[in-house]
Amino acid sequence: MHAQPANPASFRSAFRTFCVSGLGTALEFYDFIIYGTAAALVFPQVFFPDMDHLTATLVAFSAFGAGFFARPLGGLVFGHYGDRIGRQKVLVTTLLLMGLSTFLIGCLPSHASIGVAAPILLVLLRLVQGFAAGGEWGGAALFGLESAPFGRRGLWGSFTSMGIGVGGILGAAVFAIVSAAANDNLVDFAWRIPFWLGGSLVLIGLYARLKAPALDATPTSKPVRAPLAEALRQRPRQLLLCTGIAFGYCTIAYIGSTFFLTYATQVGYGSTQALMFDLTLSVAIVLSAPLFGHLSDRLGRRTVMVFGALIMALGLFAFFALVEMRSFAIALFAYSLTGALMGATQGPIPAFLGEQFPRSMRYSGISASYQVGAALGGGTASSIATAILILTDNNPIGVAIYGAGALLLVAICSLMLKETSRLTMAQIDEQPLNDTGQAVLTGR
């Protein structure tokens, strides 16, 4: 069954959906990108000045990872209330928390001013960011998924993935402009500007979400008292496999968005050049994510996810070889190709994970599985990759093997989930359970 031709009304509906799910996520991910960028380029000197640079970078990435371990708690809390009281209140709250914590990070005194209190406050604000992000991604993804016409859930779900790329573009562009204007001297004051700007830009996302009348469409069934408990009882296999996909994907995503910056500067590129690489990678994701989301509507979620994971695993080895040639043009190509390949899995993920759960437990199920995977994978990826680089005397092959292993997990877990692209949302919401409590999916 093929989707009907688009019309002006559907374009308007798609644009509104992108503004709610994609734009809000863009602003949320902008906050994460600028933190990761600052952790790679600035925080070692500002908050950990008594350590050598690479060790200080490792510690800064550990502080970056601390926020990921607040994400599962945020996913549990906001997922519960998203299923119980609706999507809109939760999505407004998560965006407000993200904006406030980001703005306050830009106001933090340095280690030279208040000593050890500076990195402690940095970690605390990072925990608030992580808690808010734990409920952000799932709700934004579900709005795109639940608003989509039949046959376009992969494409509309990819608006959230596009938002991640847009956030990366904004973060890299702002830091690149600030870095160039400050002649690569970000440490003194310039690093604060992107954080203040991010706190202010959240107002745009709030406006879009408060003006979206379809955010809380009336559920088809009465909300359950404990949605996550129901998901654990009825869909334990889906929760585990979705967590595996999130673990593998977030590992490679945060290697790409944060560790790649450190690697470029370690090889010999300037910080402005490294930020241009990051910008190129994000542009490629924005272009490729909807393409692969659309292909998952036509070819199936599993086919696209497995292909994307395997081709990206091979691409990692080529990436490091190309960047080590120390040619700006070749490195730029390597980053753009890597971003395009990352979109192959990033595009279908919102729809694929969201379709594994009925509406009554969908926010809790997708948030819990994705955020636990993000904490275990994304929260440790930059630190592990940096440690591997230190232990192997700056040989990136170990990092490539690490990333390829994470992507292999994505492929295996995707194969073990049922295909859902041909089911209607009503069929997904009404899937019967077999004698062992597992959902009986009727897709391919």
How high is the pLDDT of residue 210?
76
CB neighbour list of residue 81: distance below 8 Å, 6 or more residues apart: 89, 90
pLDDT at 442 over 70: no
**Residues 228-277: pLDDT tens digits?**
888 888 899 999 999 999 999 999 988 887 788 778 888 888 877 887 88
Q: Assess contact for 292 and 308: CB atoms under 8 A.
A: yes
Instruction: Pick 137 or 294 by higher pLDDT.
Output: 294
Distance from first CA to last CA of the chain, Å, rounded? 13
Q: How far is CA 400 from CA 40, 217, 277, 294, in A?
A: 19, 44, 18, 29
Dihedral sign computed on CA atoms, order 414, 418, 424, 425 = negative
Given a contact cutoff of 8 angstroms between Cβ atoms, the answer to whether 352 and 301 are in contact is yes
Q: How far apart are CA 160 and CA 25, in angstroms?
A: 6
Compute the distance between CA of residue 80 and CA of residue 93 in angstroms, rounded to an integer.
Answer: 14
What domains can be seen in the chain, in order of their start residue?
15-214+233-422 (1.20.1250.20)
DSSP label at residue 417: S
Q: How many helices (H) and strands (E) does the chain have?
A: 21, 0
Give pLDDT tens digits for 206-215: 777 777 665 5
pTM of the model: 0.81
Distance CA 44, CA 386 (A): 14
Sequence letter at residue 248: G
Q: At what angle do helices 379-391 and 397-416 cross, to 10 degrees?
A: 150
Report, as an integer, the average pLDDT of 191-219. Answer: 74
Who has greater pLDDT, 43 or 412? 412
The structure tokens listed for 146 are: 């639940």
365-404 pLDDT tens trace? 999 999 899 888 887 888 899 889 889 888 889 999 999 9
Chain-centroid distance of CA 230 in Å reads 26
User: What is the percent of the chain with per-residue pLDDT over 70, rounded to a whole number?
Assistant: 91
Pick from 208-217, 230-239, 292-301, 310-319: least confident: 208-217
